[in-house]
Amino acid sequence: MVLGQPSMDGNLGVLALHPRGSGKEQLELLWQLSRSSSMSAVRYALRNGVAVLHVTSPPVNALGAAVRAGLVASMERALADSATGLVVVGDGLTFPAGADITEFGKPPMEPSFGEVMRAFEDADIPTAAAIHGTALGGGFELAMSCHYRVMSSCARVGLPEVHLGILPGAGGTQRLPRLVGADAAAEIMVTGRQVSAEEALALGAVDAVVAKADLEAEAVKVVEASPVRRTKAVLVDGFKDADSIAKLKARATLDAPKSIIQCVEAAVCNDMQDGLAFEEARFRELQGSTQANALQHLFFAERACSKVPGVSPEDAVDVRAAGVVGGGTMGRGIAMCFVDNGLPVTILETSADAAAAAISGVEETYRRSSAFKRGRLTEEALTAKLNLLSSASDVDALKDCDLVVEAVFEDMAVKRSIFADLDRVTKPSCVLASNTSTLSIDGIAGAVADPARVVGMHFFSPANVMRLLENVRGARTGPAAVATAMAMGKRLRKTTVLAGDDFGFIGNRMLEPYGRECLALLRHANCGPELVDAALLEYGMAMGFFQMSDLAGNDIGYAVRTSLGLTDAASRDPAVEYSADVADALARAGRFGQKVGRGWYAYETPRVPSSDPAVAELIAGFKDASLAPDVTRGDVVDRALLALANEGFRVLEEGLALRPSDIDVVWTSGYGFPRHRGGPMQWAADDVGLAEVKATLEALHAARPDVPYLKPAKLLADMADAGAKLGDWEKFL
Ligand code: CAA
């Protein structure tokens, strides 16, 4: 690289300079280099003596090295120009939304965040942030380093670093308590929530709220009329509400929220310098930790999963009207997703009475919701939603729909007959989706003249609450149908993943060996559902396997297994079906779960599981004296979750998931896998290590060679042998 001619990547150019030259020379060179890239990242203008800085770094004006250098250089220029004040604004959609997360894990690049914040706080001219969009993380910290903050009425501020396993490391833990008090600051940072303009003003986080159109002009007026005022000069009182802080501390079980509370305590006790040093030390401990890596992995995973190679979002059909076939629990939930996002929807049922019942069921669900009870959903807004909803018992009512989602029970013949009817009445451009969780999309598409318009859209129950949408591409599904299903996921604000068309798709396919291993554990003398569930809860799963089964209904799996001939002792493979015996016996005893008040647990109080001696008795008949009698919680985690991750590698081998991170998204968004472990693939690769995963599975498989799901998947074995990283998986296919 030639000095003075920055590379396209100004950051790399800066890094390349570091090993040479004295500190002062390096700084000079840094500024020379950064100026050309940073000056395009931060535009400088002097207006009537006030310096106005526009941050221009799409899509979210993240504070990467070029922006940071541009901010510092612009501040220097404003002082050299004898500006009377300085205003910083974000171009485009938002004020900076935080540090550039893609820089995490790379060698630090100058100038540091601390340097930027100091430049703005210590300036001898008044500085103001003009906030629109979402001023998050380092962006809000920059605003707090300014002497004044003016906010557009629809903007939001927040410090969401906790969701990335870190803490606000650019002075946020010290400045927010100085602006809003220790209690509110701790709550905002531990939850990572976004704060509205109205609340930010009431708390004292900002000085004025104005219309977006007046934002920059109002911020200029503020610096023209006000003196220098530094946040660091404010003293912080201690916590006021002991109960709330105790509750917050109890919730703070992960490393990042714990450290955040300690930093707020440091802000109370220390002057700014000491507080900042404390914050920096805690930040360094968190960044690069397993929890931070996992959460940052999910940040990018949840954005990558909506992208399908070879399918352009522009291929999506413009959906103006939707239909839902079936007004049961799933159909109603899916219809609610549509109306919640302003899309008119018609529910088709088999009779006028059933159709009317579906509509009144939806209304009742809204009225029972906490949003309605607490006034967040007003009567007027509810009426507007219900006005988007209609029902019918004649399939012709769906003729103008652009998307129809079928949500009837899992019966191939019934589904095919519905799709044949839809094929007859709907427009050729209408995308036909099935909400099936197990049946073949190709099988359903066979009932339609143009199978390219058939796709799976697997919502999770309750559909209006659960974040995950697992779309399914059949062998003949066309790009328009895929693009429409993916675009609809985004519009419904779901985390949307594309799966291939095989039994159980991604999520339920992996649930199978996970569940079987949980059942197999019951064969050991000391193991009951309580031990398995306690181990999984301790690991961080939202629910234990047996609690989940009781919630979902133990009759459902039994019915599916019966339809596949797997509950018939005469026709099934005893080695493979060994572990399911006990589940079949439970279902035959009528212990269907929460809905009947008894399953793997007893439910004397609805939804509260308690141990039931009758279950212990039932399990006793399935104990295997040849197995170790003393399973530990660690054994449970190893066996259940390594069987799960192993199946994830098979899912990748078979092309059912586009990338390992999609599997992690499915399990963290739809199955309660703990986010701070990143998902089964990230956990196996980053936390346990592939070599150890392989070795443990080999040992388990050697002990039970008849159990196919314990054999390490070829992809896993090859990657482990090569010492490969998860990101290199495609090279091993
Ligand atoms: N750094 C790098 N890239 C970012 C980013 C960031 N902080 N925030 C968003 N992006 C990228 C996304 O990866 C996405 O890229 P692709 O289009 O290539 O997928 C693009 O910007 C748009 O993001 P979204 O799809 O999320 O857009 P949205 O409109 O739905 O949401 C948002 C916008 C609310 C800003 C959301 O992106 C968001 O919450 N971003 C993260 C904010 C955050 O966590 N900030 C704190 C960073 S850590 C920090 O600041 C540490 C510190 O103390 C200094």
What's the confidence (pLDDT) of residue 37?
Answer: 53
Ligand 1: nearest atom to the Cα of 168: 53
Amino acid 656 reads L
What's the confidence (pLDDT) of residue 22?
Answer: 44
Can you tell me the distance from the alpha carbon of 306 to that of 492, in angstroms, rounded to the nearest whole number?
A: 13
User: What is the whole-number distance in angstroms between the Cα of residue 413 and the centre of ligand 1?
Assistant: 45
Q: What is the mean pLDDT of residues 582-610?
A: 95
* pLDDT confidence bin for 506, thresholds 50/70/90: very high
Q: Which residues line ligand 1 (CB under 6 A)?
A: 59-60, 62, 97-102, 113, 134, 136-138, 141, 160-161, 164, 168-170, 172, 303
Q: Which of 127, 156, 153 is nearest to 140 (CA)?
A: 156
Can you tell me the distance from the alpha carbon of 672 to that of 679, in angstroms, rounded to the nearest whole number?
A: 10
Ligand 1: nearest atom to the Cα of 139: 50
What's the confidence (pLDDT) of residue 213?
Answer: 97
Ligand 1: nearest atom to the Cα of 160: 44
Can you tell me the distance from the alpha carbon of 404 to that of 323, in angstroms, rounded to the nearest whole number?
A: 4
What's the confidence (pLDDT) of residue 83?
Answer: 98
Q: What percent of the chain clears pLDDT 70, i.e. is strictly above it?
A: 94
User: What is the whole-number distance in angstroms between the Cα of residue 59 and the centre of ligand 1?
Assistant: 8
Contact 418, 410 (CB under 8 A): no
Ligand 1: nearest atom to the Cα of 167: 53
Which residue is closest in CA terms to ligand 1's atom 24? 303
User: What is the whole-number distance in angstroms between the Cα of residue 60 and the centre of ligand 1?
Assistant: 6
pLDDT in tens, 118-148: 999 999 999 999 999 999 999 999 999 999 9
Which residue is closest in CA terms to ligand 1's atom 36? 97
Residue 131, by phi and psi: left (phi above 0), alpha (psi -120 to 50) or beta?
Answer: beta
Q: Crossing angle for the helix pair 255-269 and 242-251, nearest 10 degrees?
A: 150
pLDDT in tens, 678-726: 999 999 999 999 999 999 999 999 998 989 999 999 999 999 999 999 9
In Å, what is the CA distance from 126 to each residue of 79, 114, 679? 11, 19, 47
pLDDT in tens, 650-661: 999 999 999 999
> Residue 406 is inside which H or E element, if any?
strand 403-406
Q: Is the per-residue pLDDT at 97 higher than 70?
A: yes
Instruction: List beta partners, residue 433.
Output: 405, 455
Can you tell me the distance from the alpha carbon of 509 to that of 43, in angstroms, rounded to the nearest whole number?
A: 52
Q: Is the per-residue pLDDT at 194 higher than 50?
A: yes
Q: What percent of the chain clears pLDDT 90, i.e. is strictly above it?
A: 88
Residues 6+ apart with CB under 8 A from 443: 412, 416
Reply yes or no: is the peptide bond before residue 344 cis, omega within 30 of 0: no
Ligand 1: nearest atom to the Cα of 299: 13
Which residue is closest in CA terms to ligand 1's atom 31? 60
pLDDT in tens, 631-640: 999 999 999 9
Q: Which of 487, 468, 475, 455 is nearest to 673 (CA)?
A: 468
Out of 11, 55, 57, 60, mutate this one to test ligand 1's pocket (max ligand atoms within 8 Å of CB): namely 60
Tokens 């004025």 belong to 208
What's the confidence (pLDDT) of residue 576?
Answer: 67
Average pLDDT in the chain: 92
Task: Tell me whether strands 85-90 and 42-47 are parallel, antiparallel or unpaired.
Answer: unpaired
Q: What is the mean pLDDT of residues 8-26?
A: 34
Q: Tell me which DSSP letter residue 570 carries.
A: T
CA dihedral of 496, 499, 501, 507, whole degrees rounded to 10: -90
Which residue is closest in CA terms to ligand 1's atom 45? 98
User: What is the whole-number distance in angstroms between the Cα of residue 136 and the centre of ligand 1?
Assistant: 9
* pLDDT confidence bin for 14, thresholds 50/70/90: very low
What's the confidence (pLDDT) of residue 583?
Answer: 95
User: What is the whole-number distance in angstroms between the Cα of residue 300 and the centre of ligand 1?
Assistant: 9
What's the confidence (pLDDT) of residue 96?
Answer: 98
* pLDDT confidence bin for 39, thresholds 50/70/90: low
Which residue is closest in CA terms to ligand 1's atom 38? 97
CA atoms within 13 A on the CB side of 322: 28
User: Helix or strand or coil: residue 325?
Assistant: strand
Q: Which of 550, 523, 517, 541 is nearest to 636 (CA)?
A: 517
pLDDT in tens, 284-327: 999 999 999 999 999 999 999 999 999 999 999 999 999 999 99
Q: Is the per-residue pLDDT at 11 higher than 80?
A: no
Residues 6+ apart with CB under 8 A from 387: none
User: What is the whole-number distance in angstroms between the Cα of residue 701 and the centre of ligand 1?
Assistant: 43
User: Helix or strand or coil: residue 52?
Assistant: strand
Which residue is closest in CA terms to ligand 1's atom 25? 303
pLDDT in tens, 534-573: 999 999 999 999 999 999 999 988 888 888 888 887 777 7
Can you tell me the distance from the alpha carbon of 511 to that of 644, in angstroms, rounded to the nearest whole number?
A: 7
pLDDT in tens, 145-175: 999 999 999 999 999 999 999 999 999 999 9
* pLDDT confidence bin for 30, thresholds 50/70/90: very low
Contact 37, 71 (CB under 8 A): no
User: What is the whole-number distance in angstroms between the Cα of residue 165 and the centre of ligand 1?
Assistant: 15
Q: Within a 10 A sphere around the Cβ of 540, how many other Cβ atoms?
A: 16
Amino acid 49 reads G
Q: Is the per-residue pLDDT at 366 higher than 60?
A: yes
Ligand 1: nearest atom to the Cα of 169: 53
Which residue is closest in CA terms to ligand 1's atom 40? 97
Contact 726, 682 (CB under 8 A): yes
Amino acid 732 reads F
User: What is the whole-number distance in angstroms between the Cα of residue 97 and the centre of ligand 1?
Assistant: 6
Positions marked catalytic? 141, 161
